[in-house]
Amino acid sequence: MDPMSRDQGLTHADKDPRPPKLSLAAGVFLAVLGVYVLANPGRIDIIDGQLRYEVAINWVTMGRPVLTDPLIAQLMGVEGKQGFNYSYFGPAASVAAMPLVWAGTFYDDPPGEATRFMFSLTTSFFGALAAGVLFLFYIELGVGVREALAWTGIAAFATLMWPASDSTFDNAQHACLVLVAVFLGFVSSKRQSPYLAMAGGLVAGLLFDYQEYFALIIPVLAVSTLDWSSRSDHRRGLGAGAFLRPFWLVLKLDGRGGLRELRSPTGLSPDEVHAFHRACWRYGLFMLATLVGVALALDYNYLRFGSVFENGRTFAVSRLGFPIFGNPLAGLLTLIVSPGKSIVLYSPPMILGFLGIRHLWQHKPQIGFMVVATSAVLVLFISTIAFAGGDWCWGPRYLVPLVPLWSLAFPFVAIKKGHGRDLITAIVGAGLIVQCLAVGVEHHRFFYERGLEDYFWAKDPWFYFKHSALAARPGEVLSLVEGAPPGAVLFNAHRNPPTYAILGLPRNIPRSRVPGWMRQYRIFYVPKPWPLWMGDIPPDQRAIDLKAWLAGTFGLVLLGFALVHRGVQKLAWSSQADQIGGEAALLEPH
């Protein structure tokens, strides 16, 4: 279906100029957040998260972003100013978690349990926020409200955004910020607002406080501020083909700096030239605002290591004993087509994004170009690093920031009756099944059952063409029916508390004995979401009041659905009132 005819086919309710967009977006946020929280592990699921938690809790309680846990400091700490141990990660993920960690300190008995539980929910908030913003983005693109709600649900629960939002890895936080920055940039072009362009730049700049390599895609994200009109809408902005031509314009200004004469060998009108200037102004403001995030990152470097250019990562990498960069061909094919890490297999609705990008490009060229260019830059860069798969993790987590961008193309898929609809249903159904499998089982199990080395990916860059965590997951889920082995007395490895991260194997255990070592711990043989494992923990060792949290979280889901239902009903009532008014007008004598 052509995007423009799609807009013409929207119901009157969907095109009502007064839709309760913010109320609907709030309902989407609350409903998605509730589901994400219910599916959350409720514990720190990776050592990277434990490191960021240490920074957050110490910043809240001590006023310093230091590492005090001896295990974490020994494994991943870097010595900095005044002899303190610091993290080599950026500050953003820890700062984002600090409000939740602070709230956990009021009920932290046993010590650390409540704060670690609250920390584990951080990325779920970002994932839910991304869903709410995606819904608003669909509306700005001209998608009908009901259709936008449906596609938002598909993006939230049938793509890699769901498991990424239920992890203490911070990749879904990256995805949320990318989407928010692009959304603000796009709205700035529609509203001709330099302030919204600056707001988008501020958000994009925060990506630098997570990982410096996001500087590669920030200039491409800023393309969202440009106003490339579609072929049928040249009067509202500057056409995509014409946008590059003003660089060849010859301008003559009068003595007061005003435009006196315009000679355009490229055929642009004065209005198009002015549109070009405004677009350049928004783009420049977007990029200028990103420097706030860069300044914060440099200041954080100085705080830890006494130099704005030292982030501690070089010291950390030197201890690993392998090169940062690997085989780019192996990395690229691993991310795209391998059985073990393909973005398409772990997030099947991406296929719909690929099918819809052409129509999105025709409808909003700047967004289509931005999605494709951002993907090309990020995929090519990630392909060059030795750990392109981001292990140990579920799926190609470094590509998660691209998922909401490609989700923008979902509504622009050319839907045909019969086999076309069946294909879309099958793709969405496959995506939902994959994500349910993803949140069901502890992801370390796949790696331990095979006795893999810590850095197996550096020794064999083609590993994921031979093994697949996705293919192994159905068997892992079915094994949960049998329950934990009789010898699994302790919940977590190394006698750690339930919410503490798994830190890896004891050094004295040969890799051949790892599967037997696993059978001592229940964490590998129980469902991953906290409502399904916390009941087995003695009440005095639980991080939270289980019944109260279950009631509150289900209430959150119901409140979200109630807001969405109310908004949709309001649209229906508005449509009926307008229809009655129109019929009455036809009956009046003329």
Query: Looking at the domain assignment, is residue 307 inside a domain?
Result: yes
Beta strand 85-86 with 78-79 is antiparallel
Would you state the pLDDT for residue 344?
Answer: 97
Q: How far apart are CA 424 and CA 280, in angstroms?
A: 39
Would you state the pLDDT for residue 255?
Answer: 44
> 207-264 pLDDT, tens per residue?
999 999 999 999 999 999 998 764 444 444 555 555 544 444 434 444 444 444 444 4
Using alpha carbons, select from 369, 413, 419, 337 the residue that is nearest to residue 155: 413
Q: How far apart are CA 157 and CA 137, in angstroms?
A: 18
Using alpha carbons, select from 439, 355, 340, 349 the residue that is nearest to residue 388: 340
Position 471 pLDDT exceeds 90? yes
Q: Lowest-pLDDT range, 44-58, 201-215, 275-289, 314-328?
A: 314-328
CB atoms within 10 A of CB 544: 19
Interacting residues of 27 by C-beta distance below 8 A, sequence separation 6+: 559, 560, 561, 562, 563, 564, 565, 566, 567
Query: Looking at the domain assignment, is residue 540 inside a domain?
Result: no
Domain enclosing residue 240, as ranges:
171-321
What string of H, E and C letters represents the secondary structure of 463-514?
A: HHHCCCHHHHHHHHHHHHHHCCCCCCCECCHHHCCCCCCCCCCCCCCCHHHH
Using alpha carbons, select from 266, 277, 284 the residue that is nearest to residue 237: 277
Contact 53/44 with Cβ under 8 angstroms? yes
What would the mean pLDDT of 112-135 be, rounded to a whole number?
97
Using alpha carbons, select from 86, 56, 60, 89 the residue that is nearest to residue 72: 86
Position 118 pLDDT exceeds 90? yes
What would the mean pLDDT of 509-536 be, rounded to a whole number?
91
Q: How far apart are CA 427 and CA 165, in angstroms?
A: 21
Query: Looking at the domain assignment, is residue 303 inside a domain?
Result: yes
> 93-115 pLDDT, tens per residue?
999 999 999 999 998 988 899 99
Work out how many domains the chain is built from and give that number: 1
CB atoms within 10 A of CB 186: 26
* DSSP assignment letter at 228: E
Position 304 pLDDT exceeds 80? yes
> How does residue 3 score in pLDDT terms, banded at 50, 70 and 90?
very low
CB atoms within 10 A of CB 562: 13
Q: Encoding tokens for residue 484? A: 């934990």
Query: Looking at the domain assignment, is residue 563 inside a domain?
Result: no
Query: Looking at the domain assignment, is residue 432 inside a domain?
Result: no
Position 13 pLDDT exceeds 50? no
Query: Looking at the domain assignment, is residue 296 inside a domain?
Result: yes
> 441-452 pLDDT, tens per residue?
999 999 999 989
Would you state the pLDDT for residue 251?
Answer: 40
The Cα diameter of the chain in Å comes to 94
Would you state the pLDDT for residue 494?
Answer: 78
Q: How far apart are CA 500 and CA 374, in angstroms?
A: 36
Q: Encoding tokens for residue 392? A: 């140990």
For 491, phi then psi, to 5°, come to -80, -55
Query: Looking at the domain assignment, is residue 378 inside a domain?
Result: no
User: Is the bond into 457 cis (omega within 30 degrees of 0)?
Assistant: no
Would you state the pLDDT for residue 4?
Answer: 44
Q: How far apart are CA 555 and CA 570, in angstroms?
A: 22
Contact 127/170 with Cβ under 8 angstroms? no
> 74-85 pLDDT, tens per residue?
888 999 999 999
DSSP string, 110-146: STTHHHHHHHHTHHHHHHHHHHHHHHHHHHHTT--HH
Whole-angstrom CA distances from 205 to 136, 138, 169, 297, 393 are 22, 24, 20, 10, 26
Query: Looking at the domain assignment, is residue 84 inside a domain?
Result: no
User: Mean pLDDT, the chain, as a whole number?
Assistant: 87
Position 40 pLDDT exceeds 90? yes
pLDDT, greater one: 497 or 589: 497
The CA R_g of the chain, rounded to the nearest whole Å, is 26
Q: How far apart are CA 66 and CA 84, in angstroms?
A: 7
Contact 379/438 with Cβ under 8 angstroms? no
